[in-house]
Chains A and B, each alone.
Chain A
Amino acid sequence: MLRKDLRWFFPEKPDEIPAILKNEAKAAFHAGGTSILRTKPESITALIDLGGLGWNTIRADGSAVVIGAMATFNDVIKSTASKAATFRMLQAALARAASNSVRNRITIGGSLADYAPWSDLIAPLVALEADVVYLEDGKGEKKVSVTDFIGKKLAKEKNCIREVRIPEKEIVFAVKRLARTAFEYGMFSLAVCGKYSGGAFESVAIALSGTKDRYARLAEAEKVLTGKPLSDALAREAADTIKVEFAPDVNFGAEYKANMVGVYLRDALAEIAGRK
């Protein structure tokens, strides 16, 4: 349960953050608040609300779409900042997350920092090879790949995500999620994208989130699919290479979820090939 004596801070400039972090026993960053309200950690003594920093903008800088950490999922979905297919893929993935009203609270930075297994953000960011810009200990700005950000556990309490950068590229894509109903938390999310011409992938990236290891790049399947005419048989061959582990939950067994990744990959590939 969150403490009643929580102290709140509302910085208006990033350079106000280090002093707050220094003076507070255990401060946490507050973006949309949905993660904090789920976990309600009693150890937190202070919340630093990032709403006053103007980090909710979305812009294209010529090579990438730059999404501020405080942009909500609906900000991204409704944004016209870029027409690049990479950005449209992210929009398509986030449009399936939760409900309209919750999408008005979940932020890009909060979802990435919390890194919940059902997040609809992680798989597309990994497949799109996004970068994360963060303030280390609230100070120096650093840029790392999203896989490094996750793999090196950089979402530490004193690191503050400032923006996510999506390369602007023309690709084909499909996004899928397993859930009991559209509204439910996803059990996993699958993102497939790549360069596709003449009925074959020149390159392809397949990312999955929600696994025991939190996310996976399906490198074997990518290898099978690259440079060969995409057919149902090739899609099945790619799906047969998938070896991922899930934890069982109240709705689905681990084996069922693992099997469904192959089914959804074949669906995604059929969609890309225009057969669905």
Chain B
Amino acid sequence: MADAKIREVFTVNGQEVTLALEANDTLLTALRNNGYTEVKNGCSEGQCGACIVQLDGRPVNSCQALALSAKKKKITTSKGIGNYARVSVIQEAYVEAGAVQCGFCIPGFIVTTDALLRENPNPSDEEIRFYLSGNLCRCTGYVKIIDAVKLAASRMKKA
């Protein structure tokens, strides 16, 4: 984004970084244009949840937030929860439960699941469905995703 006019400091995944952006950019656009491509652009209307990141620990659709409104908040993407070098319990659980097929929606699910389990370490099936209501998956049918969340919850309790 060499032509973007604004340079602003944000906190992304625990690091202070300078993002190049426009004043009218959504958080989704700003993150992707600055290399955070793990944040996926699905519907751009707040319907699918592929673009969900955490703002101060709460899952939000980054397509529904203007980037500059997030400049004083802590932004966490799926790579802030775990990455190749440090895979999180949640990511492992999604793989082991067979909850990942095409994978496009999964970064959003990981981010939301992390927020859920910090808020409620022992969620019921109904609580999981309610919390993940903004994350759509068109491959799995959700059963294995819910299994993954429960598997992650049980492992986090033991850890």
Contacts and interface: CB of A to CB of B under 8 A. Distances in A.
Interface of A: 1-8, 30, 32-34, 36-37, 47, 49, 51-52, 74, 98-102, 104-105, 182-183
24 contacts: A3-B23, A4-B22, A7-B23, A30-B66, A33-B65, A34-B46, A37-B63, A37-B64, A37-B65, A47-B66, A74-B58, A98-B46, A99-B46, A99-B49, A99-B133, A100-B59, A100-B132, A100-B133, A101-B60, A101-B61, A101-B135, A104-B58, A105-B64, A105-B65
Interface residues on B, range: 20 to 34
A20 B98 CA distance: 53
The DSSP consensus for interface residues of chain A is: loop
A101 B49 contact: yes
A55 B59 CA distance: 20
Contacts of A100: 59, 112, 130-134
B158 interface: no
Contacts, number: 78
A38 to B, nearest CB: 8
The DSSP consensus for interface residues of chain B is: mixed
A100 B46 CA distance: 11
Contacts of B130: 100
Contacts of A182: 133
Q: Which 7 A-B pairs have the closest CB atoms?
A: A99-B134, A2-B24, A101-B134, A6-B23, A101-B59, A99-B133, A104-B58
B157 interface: no
Contact of B61 (A5, A49, A51, A102): A102
Interface string B48-66: 0100100100111101111
A105 B61 contact: yes
A36 B132 CA distance: 25
B86 interface: no
A36 B69 CA distance: 12
A183 B49 CA distance: 12
A261 to B, nearest CB: 25
Contacts of A98: 46, 134
Looking at B64, B65, B68, the one whose CB has the most chain A CB atoms below 10 A away is: B64
Nearest to B111: A101
Interface in B124-141: 130-135
Contact of A37 (B26, B47, B68): B26
Given A6-B23, A101-B61, A183 B134 contact: yes
B60 A6 contact: no
Nearest to B132: A100
Given A1-B24, A4-B5, A51 B69 contact: yes
Contacts of B55: 104
Nearest to A185: B47
A33 B64 contact: yes
Given A33-B69, A74-B58, 17 more contacts: A1-B24, A3-B23, A4-B5, A4-B22, A4-B23, A7-B23, A32-B64, A34-B46, A37-B66, A47-B66, A51-B72, A99-B134, A100-B132, A100-B134, A104-B55, A104-B59, A105-B60
